[in-house]
Amino acid sequence: MGILGVIAASEPHTAEAGACLLRRGGNAVDAIVAAKLAATVTELPLTSLGGGGVCLWGDADAGYKVLDFFATTPGRGLSSPPPLDFAPVTVDFGRTTQIFHVGRGAAAVPGELVGLLELHRRAGRVPLREVVAPAAAWARDGFTVSPQIAMIIALVAPIARRSPAVAKLFFPRGVLPQAGDRLSNPELGDFLHALGEANTDSHVARYRASLVDNFGPAQGGLITAQDVAAYAPVIREPLRVGFGPYTVLTNPPPAAGGGLIGAGLHIAEQLGLGEEPFLSRKQQLAMAALLTTVSEIRQAGYDQRLYTDPGAILDLAAGKGIPVWAARAQSLFAENQLGATTHISVIDADRMAAAMTTSNGEGCGEALPGLGIHVNNFLGEDDINPAGFHQGAPGTWMSTMMSPTIVVAGERPCFALGSGGSNRIRSAILQTLLNLLAYRRPLKEAVNAPRLHVEGTRLWFESHDLGAGAAAALQAAWPAATCFDEASLFFGGVNCVANGHDRLYGAGDRRRGGVVVVAEQ
């Protein structure tokens, strides 16, 4: 039997939707768009057509491009800000909590719907009706809730219960859904089906009108008719970062995540990561020192307008100024010797690769009536509003840590990967890349190895499979560190596919129920 492609995702229906398109003769872009549309149904706490994202795709012959369909700051045409529907909500991750802001005033101008349609128009090869079919069917007829999605719904329950329209999507029987229960979203199913049948523009216009009617100034939001009329996805050239014999392609400015990952790779080479076994105490301290330095670059980047200055991000990715930061990492290493996003990756039989990360934030707790679409809360996330809430100029492209990534040798794709996980995205992808390229670990181990994350002076780390010596050394070097005994979704969810010399294969992150499907003829 011939292999048509491989897909790695965080949910079984999502992965199967992509595999279905590969079996129908679709390419990697058809598969990833179908999978992402399915995810808006079956991974409803993490992504929606009211969110945004980024896709990196291409092959050795045609080259590689980024389609950026993340959100923009609303408020075009407003002479003064209206009273906003905007309130804090605490999400409990078990070992740590995080405050998000929700309400109509938390919604940025979303790009996911038009972005997926634009990507398919540019690079897909099967009719749109076939691409939307799996998602539309599961939305109309229902799907089985996975254990990971049931757990995430429980986490975001305080947000999902904010309005009846959103509550009916998550809790149709008034209680938290459990793994194995069935959920459906007939309104979204009808909308997806209509998108694929004919006159897509009219359905997009209906969606945009609903954004203005329900998230505009009169309702406590900021989205105006000028905002939705001006929005269009943007094609960008990927960042290119050399690492040994490989080139790492990732998300360029105005996103910040790619530049930070590039900086981390440069520093890792200078630290010599990979010269000792991955699980050694010394290498874990070196990794923690590396992540601490990347965190410091990010914090300094706020002062240097990292989120608004593309040049600063490009300099990081090119290694400019990195020796200074590498010296800081070396110093930390020496001192410590005694340290709601989802991703899909696809490679098809023709060796076209695609990596797509999308998010709805945590959702704002409000939906588009009659469409079954929970809208984002990007304006209510501290991580992507470093200057404070509602400080961005209307029309500004928002920055993000999303970093869909393709690793090439020559121009041949070797790996396609990415992660969800808010600020932990940069740490998750950087560590996975180092596991693969520096430590040369098998793919499944590279994706599921214990992770660390640093913000300022705080360290979080997983101790599973780490070894008592390495865990004790980290706790001693960072006394206030938070240790997770088991793999936790706090550390993201990397899904990676690989192009070996004679096979296609993949690995899903167990932290978020990762699934791999190899599509066969």
Given a contact cutoff of 8 angstroms between Cβ atoms, the answer to whether 428 and 494 are in contact is yes
Using CB atoms within 10 A of its CB, is residue 176 exposed (0-12), middle (13-18) or buried (19+)?
Answer: middle
**SS3 state at 39:** helix
Beta strands 234-236; 63-69: pairing state: antiparallel
Given a contact cutoff of 8 angstroms between Cβ atoms, the answer to whether 453 and 427 are in contact is yes
The token pair that represents 385 in the structure block? 């509003």
The CA distance from 434 to 448, in Å, is 13
What is the H or E stretch that residue 101 is in?
strand 97-102
Beta strands 495-499; 504-507: pairing state: antiparallel
Q: What is the DSSP string of 351-393?
A: --EEEEEEE-TT--S-EETTTTEEBP-GGG-GGG-TT-TT-SP
Partners of 459 in beta bridges: 454
Q: Distance of CA 125 to CAs 51, 129, 235, 503, Å?
A: 25, 12, 19, 23
> Tokens 């096979």 identify what position?
503
Say whether 73 is catalytic. Answer: no
The token pair that represents 391 in the structure block? 């400080």
Q: Is the peptide bond prior to 254 cis by the omega test (within 30 degrees of 0)?
A: yes
Q: What is the DSSP string of 322-345?
A: HHHHHHHHHHHHHHT----EEEEE
The token pair that represents 136 in the structure block? 């539309």
Tell me which residue of 82, 375, 350, 425 sits closest to 207, measured CA to CA. 375
Tell me which residue of 57, 37, 58 sits closest to 48, measured CA to CA. 37
Q: Produce one character per residue of 369-405: b if its CB has 16 or more CB atoms within 10 Å, e if not.
A: eebbbbbbbbbbbebbbbeeebebebebbbbbbbbbb
Phi-psi category of 463—alpha, beta or left, where left has phi over 0 and alpha has psi -120 to 50? alpha
Given a contact cutoff of 8 angstroms between Cβ atoms, the answer to whether 93 and 441 are in contact is no
Given a contact cutoff of 8 angstroms between Cβ atoms, the answer to whether 289 and 295 are in contact is no
Choosing from 341, 400, 405, 432, the catalytic residue is 341
Q: Which residues are catalytic?
A: 341
